[in-house]
Chain A
Amino acid sequence: MPLKHLPARLESLPELMDFISDQAVQKGFSAEAVYHVCLAAEEALVNVINHAYPKASPGDLAVQVASSDAFPLILEIRDQGAAFNPLSLPDPDLDADVSRRKVGGMGVFLIRRMTDEVRYRRERDTNFLTLAFSGTRRPETFGTPA
Protein backbone atom coordinates (compact mmCIF):
# COMPACT_ATOMS: atom_id res chain seq x y z
CA MET A 1 0.00 0.00 0.00
CA PRO A 2 1.40 3.41 -0.94
CA LEU A 3 2.99 5.38 1.86
CA LYS A 4 4.47 8.85 1.86
CA HIS A 5 6.06 10.65 4.74
CA LEU A 6 7.72 14.02 5.05
CA PRO A 7 8.62 16.49 7.81
CA ALA A 8 5.49 18.09 9.31
CA ARG A 9 6.14 21.49 7.72
CA LEU A 10 4.00 23.66 5.46
CA GLU A 11 6.65 23.23 2.75
CA SER A 12 5.76 19.51 2.63
CA LEU A 13 2.08 20.16 1.92
CA PRO A 14 2.18 20.51 -1.91
CA GLU A 15 4.01 17.20 -2.34
CA LEU A 16 1.68 15.38 0.06
CA MET A 17 -1.37 16.88 -1.66
CA ASP A 18 -0.10 15.83 -5.11
CA PHE A 19 0.39 12.30 -3.79
CA ILE A 20 -3.13 12.16 -2.32
CA SER A 21 -4.75 13.71 -5.39
CA ASP A 22 -3.00 11.14 -7.62
CA GLN A 23 -4.29 8.31 -5.42
CA ALA A 24 -7.89 9.53 -5.74
CA VAL A 25 -7.52 9.94 -9.51
CA GLN A 26 -6.10 6.41 -9.78
CA LYS A 27 -9.20 5.10 -7.98
CA GLY A 28 -11.28 6.59 -10.77
CA PHE A 29 -12.87 9.24 -8.54
CA SER A 30 -14.70 12.09 -10.30
CA ALA A 31 -13.15 15.56 -10.27
CA GLU A 32 -15.68 16.54 -7.63
CA ALA A 33 -14.83 13.54 -5.44
CA VAL A 34 -11.11 14.27 -5.84
CA TYR A 35 -11.82 17.81 -4.63
CA HIS A 36 -13.53 16.44 -1.51
CA VAL A 37 -10.61 14.10 -0.81
CA CYS A 38 -8.09 16.93 -1.23
CA LEU A 39 -10.02 19.30 0.99
CA ALA A 40 -10.43 16.78 3.84
CA ALA A 41 -6.79 15.72 3.52
CA GLU A 42 -5.44 19.29 3.52
CA GLU A 43 -7.39 20.13 6.66
CA ALA A 44 -6.09 17.01 8.44
CA LEU A 45 -2.48 17.55 7.31
CA VAL A 46 -2.48 21.25 8.24
CA ASN A 47 -3.76 20.38 11.72
CA VAL A 48 -0.74 18.15 12.22
CA ILE A 49 1.64 20.70 10.69
CA ASN A 50 0.33 23.53 12.87
CA HIS A 51 -0.28 21.75 16.15
CA ALA A 52 1.36 18.33 16.56
CA TYR A 53 4.99 19.27 17.10
CA PRO A 54 6.99 22.18 18.54
CA LYS A 55 7.54 24.74 15.75
CA ALA A 56 11.31 24.49 15.98
CA SER A 57 11.47 20.71 15.64
CA PRO A 58 8.81 19.32 13.29
CA GLY A 59 8.54 15.53 13.41
CA ASP A 60 7.25 13.08 10.86
CA LEU A 61 3.96 13.34 8.99
CA ALA A 62 2.92 10.15 7.20
CA VAL A 63 0.07 9.31 4.84
CA GLN A 64 -0.73 5.63 4.34
CA VAL A 65 -3.15 4.72 1.58
CA ALA A 66 -5.46 1.73 1.90
CA SER A 67 -8.85 0.55 0.64
CA SER A 68 -11.75 -1.67 1.66
CA ASP A 69 -14.89 -3.00 -0.03
CA ALA A 70 -16.94 -0.03 1.14
CA PHE A 71 -14.23 2.59 0.75
CA PRO A 72 -11.96 2.46 -2.33
CA LEU A 73 -9.80 5.14 -0.77
CA ILE A 74 -8.77 5.26 2.88
CA LEU A 75 -6.13 7.75 4.07
CA GLU A 76 -4.44 7.10 7.38
CA ILE A 77 -2.64 10.22 8.60
CA ARG A 78 -0.07 9.58 11.30
CA ASP A 79 2.08 11.74 13.54
CA GLN A 80 4.10 11.23 16.70
CA GLY A 81 3.15 14.55 18.27
CA ALA A 82 1.15 15.24 21.39
CA ALA A 83 -1.95 13.08 21.78
CA PHE A 84 -4.84 15.00 20.26
CA ASN A 85 -8.23 13.95 18.94
CA PRO A 86 -9.36 16.61 16.46
CA LEU A 87 -12.83 15.02 16.40
CA SER A 88 -13.30 16.14 20.00
CA LEU A 89 -13.64 19.75 18.79
CA PRO A 90 -17.16 21.19 18.67
CA ASP A 91 -18.67 22.32 15.37
CA PRO A 92 -18.39 26.06 14.69
CA ASP A 93 -21.53 28.23 14.97
CA LEU A 94 -22.49 28.38 11.30
CA ASP A 95 -25.24 30.93 11.88
CA ALA A 96 -23.10 33.58 13.62
CA ASP A 97 -22.91 36.94 11.83
CA VAL A 98 -19.66 38.49 10.61
CA SER A 99 -18.84 40.12 13.94
CA ARG A 100 -19.37 37.01 16.04
CA ARG A 101 -18.19 34.35 13.61
CA LYS A 102 -14.97 32.73 14.87
CA VAL A 103 -12.05 31.92 12.60
CA GLY A 104 -11.26 28.56 14.21
CA GLY A 105 -12.92 25.17 14.02
CA MET A 106 -13.61 25.15 10.28
CA GLY A 107 -10.94 22.60 9.39
CA VAL A 108 -12.35 19.74 11.44
CA PHE A 109 -15.87 20.68 10.37
CA LEU A 110 -14.85 20.35 6.70
CA ILE A 111 -13.14 17.00 7.39
CA ARG A 112 -16.42 15.67 8.82
CA ARG A 113 -18.43 16.93 5.87
CA MET A 114 -16.04 15.74 3.15
CA THR A 115 -15.46 12.19 4.40
CA ASP A 116 -17.79 9.20 4.49
CA GLU A 117 -16.19 8.10 7.72
CA VAL A 118 -13.52 9.58 9.97
CA ARG A 119 -11.94 7.99 13.03
CA TYR A 120 -9.21 8.88 15.48
CA ARG A 121 -7.12 6.56 17.58
CA ARG A 122 -3.94 6.84 19.64
CA GLU A 123 -1.56 3.91 19.74
CA ARG A 124 1.57 4.23 21.85
CA ASP A 125 3.25 7.45 20.65
CA THR A 126 1.23 7.84 17.46
CA ASN A 127 -1.94 9.73 16.49
CA PHE A 128 -3.92 8.03 13.70
CA LEU A 129 -6.59 9.95 11.85
CA THR A 130 -8.34 7.74 9.30
CA LEU A 131 -10.37 9.33 6.49
CA ALA A 132 -12.52 6.98 4.40
CA PHE A 133 -14.01 7.88 1.03
CA SER A 134 -16.59 6.00 -1.05
CA GLY A 135 -16.01 8.39 -3.95
CA THR A 136 -19.74 8.42 -4.68
CA ARG A 137 -21.12 10.60 -1.94
CA ARG A 138 -23.16 13.57 -3.11
CA PRO A 139 -22.69 16.92 -1.39
CA GLU A 140 -26.42 17.24 -0.63
CA THR A 141 -26.23 14.07 1.46
CA PHE A 142 -23.43 15.46 3.58
CA GLY A 143 -24.31 15.52 7.23
CA THR A 144 -22.49 15.45 10.50
CA PRO A 145 -21.46 11.84 11.17
CA ALA A 146 -22.52 10.34 14.47
Chain B
Amino acid sequence: MDIVVTREETLSVFALRGRLDAVSAPELEERLNAWFNEPAANLVFDLSGLDYISSAGLRVFLTAAKKIKSRNGKLGMSQLKPNVQEVFTISGFIALIPAFESLEAALEAVR
Protein backbone atom coordinates (compact mmCIF):
# COMPACT_ATOMS: atom_id res chain seq x y z
CA MET B 1 0.00 0.00 0.00
CA ASP B 2 1.11 3.57 -0.75
CA ILE B 3 0.45 6.31 1.78
CA VAL B 4 0.87 9.92 0.70
CA VAL B 5 0.40 12.52 3.44
CA THR B 6 -0.32 16.15 2.58
CA ARG B 7 -0.15 18.58 5.48
CA GLU B 8 -1.68 21.99 5.92
CA GLU B 9 -1.74 23.98 9.13
CA THR B 10 -4.92 22.55 10.61
CA LEU B 11 -5.71 19.78 8.16
CA SER B 12 -3.94 16.75 6.73
CA VAL B 13 -4.89 14.41 3.92
CA PHE B 14 -3.86 10.75 3.97
CA ALA B 15 -4.18 9.39 0.44
CA LEU B 16 -4.19 5.57 0.50
CA ARG B 17 -3.53 3.44 -2.57
CA GLY B 18 -3.68 -0.33 -2.96
CA ARG B 19 -4.54 -2.82 -0.24
CA LEU B 20 -5.18 -2.03 3.40
CA ASP B 21 -4.93 -5.51 4.92
CA ALA B 22 -3.34 -7.19 7.93
CA VAL B 23 0.09 -6.80 6.32
CA SER B 24 -0.13 -3.08 5.53
CA ALA B 25 -2.35 -1.87 8.42
CA PRO B 26 0.58 -1.56 10.89
CA GLU B 27 2.33 0.81 8.47
CA LEU B 28 -0.72 3.09 8.33
CA GLU B 29 -1.04 2.91 12.09
CA GLU B 30 2.57 4.01 12.46
CA ARG B 31 2.11 6.96 10.09
CA LEU B 32 -1.05 8.00 11.95
CA ASN B 33 0.67 7.72 15.34
CA ALA B 34 3.39 10.07 14.08
CA TRP B 35 0.69 12.46 12.82
CA PHE B 36 -1.11 12.35 16.18
CA ASN B 37 2.09 13.51 17.87
CA GLU B 38 1.60 16.84 16.10
CA PRO B 39 -1.03 19.44 16.97
CA ALA B 40 -3.04 19.23 13.71
CA ALA B 41 -6.62 18.31 14.54
CA ASN B 42 -8.44 17.58 11.29
CA LEU B 43 -7.92 14.64 8.97
CA VAL B 44 -9.26 13.44 5.61
CA PHE B 45 -8.67 10.00 4.14
CA ASP B 46 -8.59 10.16 0.34
CA LEU B 47 -9.64 6.59 -0.56
CA SER B 48 -9.89 7.06 -4.33
CA GLY B 49 -6.97 4.66 -4.81
CA LEU B 50 -7.90 2.11 -2.14
CA ASP B 51 -8.83 -1.24 -3.70
CA TYR B 52 -9.26 -3.44 -0.64
CA ILE B 53 -9.87 -3.16 3.08
CA SER B 54 -10.21 -5.86 5.74
CA SER B 55 -10.95 -5.69 9.47
CA ALA B 56 -7.28 -4.89 10.16
CA GLY B 57 -7.81 -1.68 8.19
CA LEU B 58 -11.16 -0.92 9.82
CA ARG B 59 -9.43 -1.25 13.17
CA VAL B 60 -6.92 1.48 12.26
CA PHE B 61 -9.74 3.77 11.08
CA LEU B 62 -11.66 3.21 14.31
CA THR B 63 -8.61 3.99 16.46
CA ALA B 64 -8.04 7.17 14.45
CA ALA B 65 -11.71 8.17 14.81
CA LYS B 66 -11.54 7.72 18.59
CA LYS B 67 -8.36 9.82 18.86
CA ILE B 68 -9.71 12.58 16.61
CA LYS B 69 -12.88 12.71 18.67
CA SER B 70 -10.94 12.92 21.93
CA ARG B 71 -9.09 16.01 20.66
CA ASN B 72 -12.27 17.58 19.23
CA GLY B 73 -11.00 17.34 15.67
CA LYS B 74 -12.89 16.53 12.51
CA LEU B 75 -12.50 13.44 10.35
CA GLY B 76 -13.76 12.58 6.89
CA MET B 77 -13.10 10.27 3.97
CA SER B 78 -13.72 10.56 0.26
CA GLN B 79 -14.26 8.60 -2.95
CA LEU B 80 -14.75 5.08 -1.60
CA LYS B 81 -14.66 2.43 -4.31
CA PRO B 82 -17.69 0.08 -4.34
CA ASN B 83 -15.96 -2.88 -2.65
CA VAL B 84 -14.50 -0.66 0.05
CA GLN B 85 -17.82 1.13 0.50
CA GLU B 86 -19.54 -2.23 0.97
CA VAL B 87 -17.19 -3.20 3.81
CA PHE B 88 -17.76 0.16 5.52
CA THR B 89 -21.50 -0.25 5.12
CA ILE B 90 -21.97 -3.78 6.41
CA SER B 91 -19.58 -3.17 9.32
CA GLY B 92 -21.48 -0.06 10.37
CA PHE B 93 -18.27 1.99 10.09
CA ILE B 94 -19.93 4.19 7.48
CA ALA B 95 -21.78 5.83 10.37
CA LEU B 96 -18.55 6.49 12.29
CA ILE B 97 -16.61 8.43 9.65
CA PRO B 98 -18.43 10.89 7.37
CA ALA B 99 -18.00 9.83 3.71
CA PHE B 100 -17.97 12.23 0.76
CA GLU B 101 -18.13 11.73 -2.99
CA SER B 102 -15.28 14.13 -3.72
CA LEU B 103 -12.10 15.15 -1.95
CA GLU B 104 -13.19 18.79 -2.23
CA ALA B 105 -16.44 18.05 -0.36
CA ALA B 106 -14.53 16.19 2.37
CA LEU B 107 -12.03 19.06 2.75
CA GLU B 108 -14.85 21.59 2.88
CA ALA B 109 -16.63 19.64 5.64
CA VAL B 110 -13.54 19.05 7.74
CA ARG B 111 -11.71 22.34 7.35
Chain A residues at the B interface, C-beta cutoff of 8 Å: 10, 13-14, 17, 32, 35, 38-39, 42-43, 46, 49, 92, 94-95, 97-99, 101, 103, 106-107, 109-110, 113, 139, 142
- Whether A106 contacts B83 in the complex (CB less than 8 A), given A42-B22, A46-B56, A101-B96, comes out as no
The contact sample of 30 A-B pairs, CB cut-off 8 A, is A10-B23, A13-B21, A13-B23, A17-B21, A32-B83, A35-B83, A42-B21, A42-B22, A46-B54, A46-B55, A49-B22, A92-B92, A94-B91, A98-B66, A98-B69, A98-B96, A99-B66, A99-B69, A101-B62, A101-B92, A101-B96, A103-B59, A106-B55, A106-B59, A107-B55, A109-B55, A109-B91, A110-B54, A110-B91, A139-B86
Contact A43 B96 (CB under 8 A): no
Q: Give the bracket for the number of chain B residues in contact with chain A.
A: 20 to 34
Distance in angstroms between the alpha carbons of A142 and B91 in the assembled complex: 12
* Residue in B closest to A106 when the chains form the complex, CB atoms: B55
Chain B residues at the A interface, C-beta cutoff of 8 Å: 21-23, 52, 54-56, 58-59, 62-63, 65-66, 69, 82-83, 86-87, 90-92, 95-96
Distance in angstroms between the alpha carbons of A99 and B65 in the assembled complex: 9
- B66 neighbours in A (Cβ, 8 Å): 98-99
- B59 neighbours in A (Cβ, 8 Å): 103, 106
- Whether A39 contacts B23 in the complex (CB less than 8 A), given A98-B96, A101-B96, comes out as no
Contact A139 B90 (CB under 8 A): yes
- B52 neighbours in A (Cβ, 8 Å): 35, 38-39
Contact B92 A94 (CB under 8 A): yes
- A103 neighbours in B (Cβ, 8 Å): 59, 62-63
- B87 neighbours in A (Cβ, 8 Å): 39, 110
**Least CB distance, B22 to chain A, in whole angstroms:** 5
